[in-house]
Amino acid sequence: MIRVNVKETSDRILSFEMSGHADFAEHGQDLVCAGASAVSFGAVNAILELTKIEPQIQQESSGYLKVVFPDRLDEKTEEQVQLLVRAMIVSLKTIEQDYGQYIKITFTA
């Protein structure tokens, strides 16, 4: 199962962490894993390219990804980062709605 943990405050997403494998299908055929990977890496790439910030990124070949967003961004950049990461979460929730036995999203303070 893919586990996504989103760490947030009442008004800000601080970080997210993804780990595990969906095991929906064989390696290379797993559309749940491919979809979750495309959504998360696409969002991180968009944040890097469009906002020019440098979040802390930890990635492993085992399917692990952790992204921590910097504090003290200017207001415009913070809004852009939050919009992009929230859009990623909406897309992941859509995958979770259809394939909940293969992906689980949790939110922690």
Task: Kindly state the tokens that stand for 27.
Answer: 């390696």
Cα 89 from Cα 6, distance rounded (Å): 9
Please identify which of the residues 2, 13, 32, 33 carries the catalytic annotation: 33
Task: Kindly state the tokens that stand for 16.
Answer: 């997210």
Our answer to whether residue 9 is catalytic in this structure is no
Nearest CA among 56, 48, 54, 70 for reference residue 17: 56
Please identify which of the residues 12, 21, 66, 86 carries the catalytic annotation: 21
Our answer to whether residue 21 is catalytic in this structure is yes
Known catalytic residues are 21, 33
